[in-house]
């Protein structure tokens, strides 16, 4: 176990360096580049002025030198200056993490609670009205873009019914109140949860269906176990193996989903920050977030591997 972890962690180091080179080069090559903000026609900079800015920002150095400086600083947690937020990029990102974690955690927990019974039951009652309804809903959940669903939810629950606040994390100007905070959480969490339930319940359904035809299920039934016991003890446990790894791998990628949700609901998390940084060419922040997400993907992959072997003793870590 220890050796496995050590090996996996060592393996991620060249991967992270490779990814950082990729991120660095790709962002340099995107039309416009870091100078876009200063080179807009309306700003009327003279060539000499632009040259001066380029020099101040260190952009007149060779690319590999720029990368080296960036990497050595990034390794020490200094991701550069975020001009969009007027603070170090690391600090800008750090300030947004709690909001995203709160949103993600609420949505993931809620989604797991909903997706497991739905997936299990639709597989068990395959081709019944329940299964068909669940299937149609999950297709809807797949097909409807998060931002559209978010806007509709705002129209219905905030504008027409007036039950919930439209956006933001709290009512600005009021002292912090848990109830107010919770009210603001409902819409974004629901929208994100819906998309997750759609995908995870389908995943679990097919995984349960696969188990249902297995010999050990027949054996369990032949032993005279109750259906309930067969389902919860035997099938459940085996179908959860791929499900758990699936969730572990998907969680870091959920940041993609939170970009839309956070943007529509003005939720001040990392997703919104990434969106803002992309629009405003705040490269320091974009690079920082991409590296963090890459690290998260790798960490969660290791977690998935460990979980997988724990849940399924047939799989060894080597």
Partner 1 sequence: MKQEHRSICSWLMFVSWIMVALVLASCRQPTPPPGDEAEVPKPVDGGTLVYGYLEEPDNLNAYGSSMTYALVTSMLITNGLTTVNPDLEVQADLAKEVPTAENGGISEDGLTVTYELQEGVTWHDGTDFTCDDVKFTADTINTEAFIMPLSKAGYDKIAKTDCEDDHTVVFQLKEPYAPFVSLLFQWGIMPKHVLEGEADINKADYNRAPIGTGPFKFVEWQDGDHITLEKNEDYWDKKQQPHLDKVIIKFAEDENTILTQVKTGEIDVWDFVPASFVAQLEKEDVEVSESLQLTLESVHVNSGKPPLDDKRVRQALTYAWDRETTVEKIYPGQTLAVTQQAPQCWCANDDLEAYAYDPDLARELLEEAGWTDTDDDGFVDKDGKRLTLTISTVAGKKDREQVEAIMQDDYKKAGIELLIKNYDASSLFGDYSENGPLATGQYDLALYADAPGADPDSFDGLLTSDQIPSDSNPSGSNWNFFSNKELDSLVAEGRTTVQESERKKIYDRIQEIVYEESPFLFERFHTFSTVNNSRVHGITSSPTYLQNMWDHGANWWVDAQQ
Q: Which of residues 107-126 bind partner 1 (CB under 8 A)?
A: none
- Residues in 265-284 at the binding interface with partner 1, rule: CB under 8 A: 265-269, 272-276, 278-281
CB of 135 to partner 1, least distance (A): 25
| Strand ranges in the chain using DSSP code E only, listed in sequence order | 81-82, 87-88
- Of 16 and 217, the one with the shorter C-beta distance to partner 1 is 16
Residue 155 engages partner 1 in binding (rule: CB under 8 A): yes
- Residues in 156-185 at the binding interface with partner 1, rule: CB under 8 A: 158-159, 162, 165-170, 172-173
- Count H helices, E strands: the chain? 13, 2
Could you give the CA distance from residue 265 to residue 147 in angstroms, rounded to a whole number? 9
| Burial class of residue 56, CB neighbours in 10 A (0-12, 13-18, 19+) | exposed
CB of 77 to partner 1, least distance (A): 17
What's the Rg (C-alpha) of the chain? 24
Q: Which of 1, 56, 215, 316 binds partner 1 (CB under 8 A)?
A: 56
- Residues in 7-46 at the binding interface with partner 1, rule: CB under 8 A: 11, 15, 19, 22-23, 26, 30-32, 36-46
> Over the range 6-26, which residues count as b (16 or more CB within 10 Å of their CB) and which as e?
eebeeebeeeeeebbeebbee
Q: Around Cβ 2, how many Cβ atoms within 10 Å?
A: 6
Q: Which of 114, 151, 212, 311 binds partner 1 (CB under 8 A)?
A: 151
CB of 153 to partner 1, least distance (A): 10
Residue 187 engages partner 1 in binding (rule: CB under 8 A): no
User: Under a CB-based contact definition with an 8 Å cutoff, are residues 104 and 297 in contact?
Assistant: no
CB of 128 to partner 1, least distance (A): 34
- Residues in 246-265 at the binding interface with partner 1, rule: CB under 8 A: 249, 253, 255-256, 259, 263-265
- Of 172 and 316, the one with the shorter C-beta distance to partner 1 is 172
- DSSP characters over 96-146: HHHHHHHHHHHHHHHHHHHHHHHHHHHHHTTTSHHHHHHHHHHHHHHHS-H
Residue 103 engages partner 1 in binding (rule: CB under 8 A): no
CB of 275 to partner 1, least distance (A): 6
Could you give the CA distance from residue 318 to residue 316 in angstroms, rounded to a whole number? 5
Stretch that binds partner 1, among 68-76, 103-111, 121-129, 146-154 (CB under 8 A): 146-154
CB of 137 to partner 1, least distance (A): 25
Residue 77 engages partner 1 in binding (rule: CB under 8 A): no
């Amino acid at each position: 176990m220890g050796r496995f972890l050590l090996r996996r962690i060592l393996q991620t180091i060249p991967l992270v360096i490779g990814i950082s080179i990729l991120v660095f080069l790709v962002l340099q090559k995107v039309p416009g580049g870091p100078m876009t903000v200063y080179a807009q026609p309306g700003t009327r900079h003279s060539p000499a002025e632009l040259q001066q800015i380029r020099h101040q920002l260190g952009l007149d150095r060779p690319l590999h030198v720029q990368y080296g400086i960036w990497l050595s600083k990034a390794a020490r947690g200094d991701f550069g200056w975020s001009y969009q937020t007027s603070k170090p990029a690391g600090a800008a990102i750090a300030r947004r993490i709690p909001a995203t974690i709160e949103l993600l955690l609420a949505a993931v927990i809620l989604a797991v609670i909903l997706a497991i019974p739905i997936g299990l039951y639709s597989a068990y009652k395959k081709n019944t009205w329940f299964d068909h309804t669940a299937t149609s809903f999950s297709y809807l959940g797949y097909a409807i873009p998060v931002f559209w669903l978010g806007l509709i939810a705002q129209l219905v629950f905030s504008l027409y019914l007036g039950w919930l606040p439209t956006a933001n994390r709290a009512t600005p100007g009021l002292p912090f109140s848990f109830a107010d905070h919770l009210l603001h959480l409902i819409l974004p969490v629901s929208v994100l949860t819906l998309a997750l339930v759609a995908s995870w319940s389908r995943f679990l359904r097919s995984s349960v269906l696969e188990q249902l035809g297995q010999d050990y299920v027949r054996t369990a039934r032949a032993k005279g176990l109750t259906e309930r016991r067969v389902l919860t003890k035997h099938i459940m446990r085996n179908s959860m193996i791929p499900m758990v790894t699936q969730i572990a791998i998907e969680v870091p990628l959920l940041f993609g989903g939170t970009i839309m949700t956070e943007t529509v609901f003005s939720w001040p998390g990392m997703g919104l920050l990434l969106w803002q940084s992309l629009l405003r060419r705040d490269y320091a922040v974009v690079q920082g977030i991409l590296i963090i997400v890459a690290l998260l993907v790798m960490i969660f992959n290791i977690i998935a591997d460990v979980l997988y072997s724990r849940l399924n003793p047939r799989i060894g870590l080597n």
